[in-house]
Amino acid sequence: MVDQRPEQPVILNSEEPKKRSKTASFFLEIFQTLVLALVFYFLIDSFFPRVRVENISMKPTLQPGELLLINKLAYRLGQPHYGDIIVFHYPANPKEDYIKRLIGLPGDEIKVEGGRVFINGQALVEPYIAAPPAYDGSWTIPEGYFFVLGDNRNQSSDSHSWGYVPVGNVVGKALIVYWPLDQIKTLYHPLAVNAAN
């Protein structure tokens, strides 16, 4: 005898695979976002690293503890300018990085006399320094080197005491102070640039 009852439909629990699929998708998206964020972070960090100011040699422009953004491409894509604040490997110990203001370019004659700094005979107007330099001296910058000074002229270890910075030692140009938030500022001083030209 044949059973005439209609077949009962088989009900599959389709909710379980959907849940797994949505969960896997969610975690895959999070993973992709994190990987992309890390790639961008390391790319940006390669060209725009951050540095922390450790001492008082650039007071009052920079304070210890401030964080700066540095442009490593500045002098690959453009020219150095008087007044730029640069980060470089200290010539006597390249493992140490210093931050100072660019005062002299190759071929320049720098003279410090009577509390004033002169570039090729022109006195700089420097409203950003802590105090006028209490030392005198003169230097002719050789090809392939820069002359740098700290804004805290009398408390700075810089070119007036240890010599020139090889151009190849320059890490980059300081762009902005981004921390602490109440100290955010760009690092550009047109008076130094204009006075030197």
14 is catalytic: no
* pLDDT at 183 (0 to 100): 87
Residues of the chain under the 50 pLDDT cut = 193-197
Residue 46: predicted pLDDT = 64
Total Cβ atoms within 10 A of residue 191: 13
Of 25, 59, 72, 100, the active-site residue reads: 100
Residues 6+ apart with CB under 8 A from 159: 100, 103, 104, 139, 146, 147, 148, 149, 165
- Of the candidates 57, 59, 156, 159, the residue annotated as catalytic is 57
pLDDT at 106: 97
Residue 19 annotated to the active site: no
Residue 194: predicted pLDDT = 45
